Amino acid sequence: MGEKHLMNSYSRFDVEFENGSGTSIYDINGREYLDFVAGVAVNSLGHCHPAIIQALDKQSKKLIHVSNLYWTPTQTQLAKKLVSLSDHATVFFCNSGTEANETAIKIGRKYGKLKGKAEKYEIIAMENSFHGRTMGALTVTGQTKYHKDFMPMIGGVNRIRFNDVGDLQKSISEKTCAVIVEPIQGEGGIINANKEFLMEAKKLCEKYDALLIFDEVQCGIGRSGDLFAYQSFGVIPDIVCLAKGLGGGFPIGAVLANERASILKPGDHGCTFGGNPLGCAVSLAVLEELVENKVIEGVKGKEKLFKKGIEELLQEYSFIKKIDGKGLMIGIHLDIEAKKVVNKAFDKGLLIIGAGSRAIRIVPPLNISTEEINRGLEILAEVFKEVKKELQFA
């Protein structure tokens, strides 16, 4: 495979995938796998959805890239659509979730400066969070295992305990320019924010004139059962960071900002490929499927199917501790290493992924069928049965 020529920056499974359709993906030997990873919550419509293929084909014959020195119809249309579907006023386009979070961090810092206070630059972030791997996004990521080889981190970041209202209250001040939080922590273990915590964050940001940033890179774009995760919690942030499912597999990120957070001026920030005509055309097609063609409306029902099946497993296996998450972003928390379960599932043709060391993350395409859900649950049941047997003889 690619060991000789690719940097060793990923731990990869011993498989080479060649094609896919819907929730199924096939390796170079033709073996089928049921894909509950979906490119890590990226393939919101599964593999090679006809609407995405059509959008790529049509737009690629017209215009692929022109740069942000000029206007393009698809970028304007996508921005207008995102604004109309959200509670926000403007959009900045980029290529990824990390870039979206970097943009939000810069907006927060500039907001503090515009308030005329040189010391208003502190950002409050959450322990156990994950926001990306570039230096700004890495600094607000609340997991020291990602920091150790890249120290020192950028200054001015204060990490607090996730869902701890008291810790937030004592940490925020006039020096705070922004608070960044995942409504559902992803890589940190699939942990829902408490609505009360998010409401208090909103209240305190208004009190101290700071921006509230929601990182919805993984939990947004229908993943929670609503188009935006903030809608699932009933708390509207100043800034929403999006990527992953927004392009259904094509790289695109976006930052939505309300009026008070819409402060970038020419020269403040930029992204060469951000909002290119091809990416925006694909994203428009994805949103049409999710919203107008009502794929999102089925997500909460599918969540119930998954959780009902997992609840039955929880009752049977003591090493399954709890279920968390919303919509089709589901976490199974264990008191054993998740890698054992992930590897066994892979061997049986089911792709799942860990979230931290002791949680399994299930993030399938949003248009997954009932039959595919049941098939995946059957494989999980087989895996847990084998794990239990091994634990008994360990």
- pLDDT (mean) for 66-92: 98
- The β-bridge relationship of strands 32-35 and 253-257 is unpaired
Question: For 324-357, how does the pLDDT look when each residue is reduced to its tens digit (9 = 90+)?
Answer: 999 999 999 999 999 999 999 999 999 999 998 9
pLDDT digits (tens, 9 = 90+) for 152-168: 999 999 999 999 999 99
Instruction: Examine domains 17-49+296-393 and 51-292 and report if their fold is the same.
Output: no
Instruction: Residue 158: count other Cβ atoms within 10 Å of its Cβ.
Output: 16
Q: Give the number of other Cβ atoms within 10 Å of residue 60's Cβ.
A: 12
Tokens linked to 389: 């047997």
- Containing H/E element for 359? strand 359-362
Section 25-37 average pLDDT: 98
> d(Cα 124, Cα 180) in Å, to the nearest integer?
6
Query: Residue 158 corresponds to which tokens in the numbers above?
Result: 């204060």
CATH number of 51-292, picked from 2.40.30.20, 1.10.8.350, 3.40.640.10, 2.60.40.10: 3.40.640.10
pTM of the model: 0.96
Which of 10, 51, 41, 15 is closest to 347 using CA atoms? 15
- Quick one: pLDDT at residue 2? 79
Domains of the chain, by residue range, sit at: 17-49+296-393, 51-292
Per the omega criterion (within 30 degrees of 0), is the bond before 152 cis? yes
Does the domain spanning 17-49+296-393 belong to CATH 3.90.1150.10?
A: yes
Cα-Cα-Cα-Cα dihedral sign, residues 333, 334, 335, 341: negative
